[in-house]
Amino acid sequence: MQETTPAPVTFTKDVAPILQARCQVCHRPDTFAPMSLLTYEEARPWAKSIKQKVVAREMPPWYIDKHVGVHNFKNDVSLTDQEIATLVKWADSGAPKGNPADMPAPRKFDDSDQWHVRPDLVVQLPKDIVVPAQAADRWIDVVADTGLTEDRYIKGVEIKPIKGFRAVHHASTSMKNDDDADDAGDGTDVQGKFLNEYALGKNADVFPDGAGRLIKAGTKINFNLHLHPIGQETPINVALALELYPKGYTPKYAETTEKVGDPKDLDIPPNADNVRFDGYNTLTKPARMLSFQPHLHNRGKASCMEAIYPGGHKVETLSCVSKYQFAWHLVYLYAEDDQPLLPAGTILHLISWYDNSPGNKFNPDPDNLITYGQRTIDEMGGAWVSYYYLTDEEYKQQVEARKTKQQIAKKTD
């Protein structure tokens, strides 16, 4: 029997479709990515680097550990094993171009491709803010009007710098409304009701159908900004994108986003690795978890969240980012059938690990004792999570429905 020669892997036939689907939304002109990968001529010089990054699973950015906890996510942008093998084979075979006739039509981008949501409303700072080349970090509040004339419900939210992103350490947004009292005791303060937070590389927080947050008519958005000088004078601006439910629609569940397990007593010795800190939050009602997003700084190494069930007789790992990257504060949206269902009294246990040794290439000064703080050179140890509360009856019903669905799936395997 005559052996057939495997078809060569080429850019036009095999690589371009992967880059279009997974990479080009960032790797194109006028984005923050360091190079464009729209054409063969642009991609060819980076063939070895592409191989290195995809084999290490550093690109596309997706750092959740798929071997523990929840495995399935709505917004998983990671490459499949087959896609990685294709890119590796292309690089190893000299990165051939292939037949131009095999090249797919260029991917078309529009304004919506700038976001991970489909924005119905975009609110930005009224004017640019200039960050000087050299100065201390600044924390400021800027208020912007939404222009909303009627109450609406939010389905998805995303914040990002639209100018000078390197000088924006973080930005958090809150909703300010004249009907809200500063001392309401429900999360309202001088900045308003917390809405969402941006840190470097963050994507969007998108809620499942039937869950949302109310934004009232006349609401203003308070942008709380942490600005960091980068050695050159930099104008910055930040925008908030909201995907809204249709007018008149009221979702069944009220979504909550909060930071869990954020220990303020961090004490990371100089030149130390694998330093661990733990934080705890208790769910007062049954809850359905929607997303997980760890937030650490440059010494951050790993972040895991587990559920300690009432009575402490059962502990379940929910999610773990085992190779934390400060450049990518990603929101991991649990797939609907995998969203953890947790009873009242469950303790969310957040475990953070740090590397303050010289072996951490992102460590600016391993000889320093590191404590909790807002600056990049300080550290944090929490995670932003989104969830909604259930009644006791809803919790029982959803647990039983999931068991039934899992039993049916096993029978059909």
Output the pLDDT for position 183: 45
Burial 73-96 (b: 16+ CB within 10 A, else e): bebebbbeeebbebbbebbeeebb
DSSP 8-state secondary structure symbol assigned to residue 66: T
Residue 67 has pLDDT above 60, yes or no: yes
pLDDT in the model for residue 180: 63
Distance CA(80)–CA(96), nearest Å, equals 22
Which residues are bridge partners to 306 per DSSP? 317, 349
pLDDT surpassing 70 at residue 206 = yes
Q: What is the mean pLDDT of residues 378-385?
A: 91
Q: How confident is the model at residue 63 (pLDDT cuts 50, 70, 90)?
A: very high
Segment 10-30 mean pLDDT: 92
Per cent of the chain over pLDDT 70 is 95
Write down the pLDDT at residue 31.
Answer: 75
Residue 210 pLDDT > 90, yes or no? yes
Residues 6+ apart with CB under 8 A from 21: none
Report the chain's terminal Cα–Cα distance, integer Å. 36
pLDDT at 362 over 80: yes
Average pLDDT rounded to a whole number, residues 184-189:
48
CA angle 282, 341, 403 (to 5 degrees): 150
135-156: b (≥16 Cβ within 10 Å) or e: eeeeeeebebebebeeebbbbb
Tell me, what's the pLDDT at 186?
A: 47
Mean pLDDT confidence for 385-393: 96
Q: What's the rounded Cα separation, in Å, for the pair 195 and 253?
A: 16
Strand partners, 387: 256, 289
Give the containing element (helix H, strand E) for 315. Answer: strand 315-321
pLDDT of the residue at 188:
45
Q: How confident is the model at residue 82 (pLDDT cuts 50, 70, 90)?
A: very high
On the question of pLDDT at 202 being above 80, the answer is: yes
Rounded Cα distance, 286 and 356, in Å: 38
3-state secondary structure (DSSP) of residue 350:
strand
CA distance 288 to 302: 24
Measure Cα distances from 273 to 302, 352, 353 in Å. Answer: 12, 12, 8
Q: How far apart are CA 299 and CA 52, in angstroms?
A: 23
- Judged against a pLDDT cut of 70, whether residue 413 lies above it is answered with no
State how far the Cα of 307 lies from the Cα of 285, in Å rounded to an integer.
14
pLDDT at residue 369 greater than cutoff 80: yes
Q: Which of 79-93, 113-127, 162-176, 324-338 has the highest mean pLDDT?
A: 79-93
315-321 sheet: strands from edge to edge? 273-282, 347-355, 300-308, 315-321
CB-based contacts of 172, cutoff 8 Å, min separation 6: 159, 194, 195, 196, 197, 198, 223, 224
At residue 184, the pLDDT reads 44
Mean pLDDT across the stretch 267-274?
Answer: 96
At residue 90, the 3 state secondary structure works out as helix
pLDDT tens for each residue of 135-183: 988 999 999 999 999 999 999 999 989 898 889 988 999 999 876 655 4
Q: Are 42 and 48 in contact (CB under 8 A)?
A: no
Mean pLDDT of the chain: 91
